[in-house]
Amino acid sequence: MREYLLTLCVTVAVTYLLTGPVRKFAIAVGAMPEIRARDVHREPTPRLGGIAMFGGLCAGLLVADHLRNLNGVFTGSNEPRALLSGAALIWLIGVLDDKFEIDALIKLGAQMIAAGVMVIQGLTILWIPVPFMGTVAVTPWQGNLLTVALVVLTINAVNFVDGLDGLAAGTVCIAAAAFFLYAYRIWYGYGIESAAPATLFAAILMGMCLGFLPHNMHPARIFMGDSGSMLIGLVLAAGAISITGQVDPDTLKLFAGGERNATHAMLPVFIPLVLPLTIIAIPMADLFLAIVRRTWNGQSPFAADRGHLHHRLLELGHSHSRAVLIMYFWSGLIAFGAVAYSVHSTSMWIVLGIAGLSALGLVLLLLPRFTPRAPRWAEGLVPPRYRHADRAAEAALLDASGTEPEPARPIAAGISGVNGATAIGPRSRFPDRRKAGSAR
């Protein structure tokens, strides 16, 4: 565990320290796109944050390669090299997109090529553990297609959820933390060495996100851009593929005490799509709803809009920070709930705890609809959002103008002659400057 913590801390430090210079570089090269209609932020913000995150990835792998216990991951498996080569390719495409806005179909093709590069080097699905059926072997072509599809889905799910400050990095960090606990349990709890690469990938992914988050929290000083969102999506998918396609459930039977216990131990990863869908269920749901919504409206599935889940939270009345925290809550509940259920699937307390937290999440989700209103006599003591609509509007006008709004008057009462001219409306709160004008 100490070596994983050291790798995590190095990744955090390198990512954090590189983000500042990368921000200055992004401003210098003009990687600050104009505000678009679907954007939430109101000021041009530099992108290319993925450069710092890729530096953290390289630093984490380099440190792990020189540690005694983690060095075996590199000598006994080709998966770290497969991850690094695929990540370098997808990162390069993301950097070009952050600067030059590459077409969506080109990016999709690049994602498939990056997944193919990892498949060629051995990071692929070998079998599918199916409940009540045992291990189902897949042909090389089937495993390759499943791997490419899983990588592309995960990359785009993370890319779609990157719409608010700190949302993508925080969500993926929560997913990586839950994934690390599960993989570490398989590796050290059952002694299955094939789970070691996935454990390392999860630790490094947590470091990448934690190092970038201080710069990306609202109000963000830099965005990760596609160079960062596609990168962390690929790393998350690589870890899921590694532990799902490489860990043999038949081996786990020997450590779990039988096939029944092995079935409970491998519960979240029976089907290769289950674990990543569970870990990033919220981004995946957002991706699916976006495709359905855009296709139903006759648009391209890659057309941008303001219908994502985080946009809907803002429309409900949540603030930027509260919307992000709600997404964190649901992501953590689903991810850690799945891991806890895999450890004690027969415990009713876990099920009841998940149900209770889900009810709490629904209350938080609908909180703007239940915003209390203060009585008339106490409206001056509470923030404007707790006042009645008319009083809140008056308070907003007062804050904007710095003067008390005048009561409504008839139009005739606002007619006054100034040097033969006629002005209609309330009296101006600015002093009369006629004499100063005549003196000039």
What is the tens place of the pLDDT at every residue in 358-398? 888 777 777 665 555 666 666 666 666 556 555 545 555 55
Confidence tier at 140 by pLDDT (50, 70, 90):
confident
Confidence tier at 165 by pLDDT (50, 70, 90):
confident
Residue 422: which H helix or E strand, with range? strand 421-423
65 and 209 in one domain? yes
- Residue 353's pLDDT is what? 85
Whether 134 is covered by a domain: the verdict is: yes
Residues 173-193 have pLDDT tens digits of 998 998 898 888 887 776 778
266 and 127 in one domain? yes
394 and 274 in one domain? no
Closest CA to 60 of 80, 85, 79: 80
SS3 call for 432: coil
Residues 296-355 have pLDDT tens digits of 777 766 566 555 665 667 666 667 677 788 888 888 888 888 777 767 666 788 788 888
In eight-state DSSP terms, residue 377 is G
Query: Could you tell me if 244 and 211 are in contact, meaning their C-beta atoms sit under 8 angstroms apart?
Result: no
Whether 293 is covered by a domain: the verdict is: no
Share of the chain above pLDDT 70, in %: 63
Model-wide pTM > 0.85: no
Whether 63 is covered by a domain: the verdict is: yes
- Residue 296's pLDDT is what? 76
Q: Could you give the number of structural domains in the chain?
A: 2
Share of the chain above pLDDT 90, in %: 29
Mean pLDDT of the chain: 76
Lowest-confidence range among 7-11, 26-30, 122-126, 213-217?
A: 122-126
DSSP line for 11-72 = HHHHHHHHHHHHHHHHHHHT--PPPPTT---SS-----THHHHHHHHHHHHHHHHTSTTTHH
Q: Looking at 220, 252, 279, which one is the last position of a domain? A: 279
Q: Per-residue pLDDT averaged across 52-80, rounded?
A: 92
Residues 223-276 have pLDDT tens digits of 999 999 999 999 999 988 887 766 665 555 545 554 455 545 555 444 334 555
More confident residue, 157 or 435: 157
Whether 297 is covered by a domain: the verdict is: no
Q: Looking at 279, 309, 344, which one is the last position of a domain? A: 279
Whether 181 is covered by a domain: the verdict is: yes
Residue 203 has pLDDT above 90, yes or no: yes
- Residue 433's pLDDT is what? 41
Whether 360 is covered by a domain: the verdict is: no
Structural domain including 387 reads 371-406
Which residues are registered as beta bridge partners of 417? 422
Confidence tier at 424 by pLDDT (50, 70, 90):
very low
Query: Could you tell me if 312 and 289 are in contact, meaning their C-beta atoms sit under 8 angstroms apart?
Result: no
Measured CA to CA, the distance from residue 330 to residue 423 in angstroms comes to 57
- Residue 428's pLDDT is what? 41
Residue 132: both structure tokens together: 């009540």
SS3 call for 409: coil
Beta-carbon count within 10 A of 12 CB? 23
Single-letter code of the amino acid located at 77: S
- Residue 389's pLDDT is what? 55
- Residue 210's pLDDT is what? 96
Query: Could you tell me if 228 and 94 are in contact, meaning their C-beta atoms sit under 8 angstroms apart?
Result: yes
SS3 call for 423: strand
For the chain, helix (H) and strand (E) counts, in that order, are: 19, 4
Single-letter code of the amino acid located at 377: W
In eight-state DSSP terms, residue 129 is E
- Residue 114's pLDDT is what? 95
171 and 67 in one domain? yes
Whether 317 is covered by a domain: the verdict is: no
Residue 409: both structure tokens together: 């008057």
Whether 305 is covered by a domain: the verdict is: no
Q: Looking at 236, 263, 279, which one is the last position of a domain? A: 279
Residue 225: which H helix or E strand, with range? helix 225-246
- Residue 188's pLDDT is what? 78
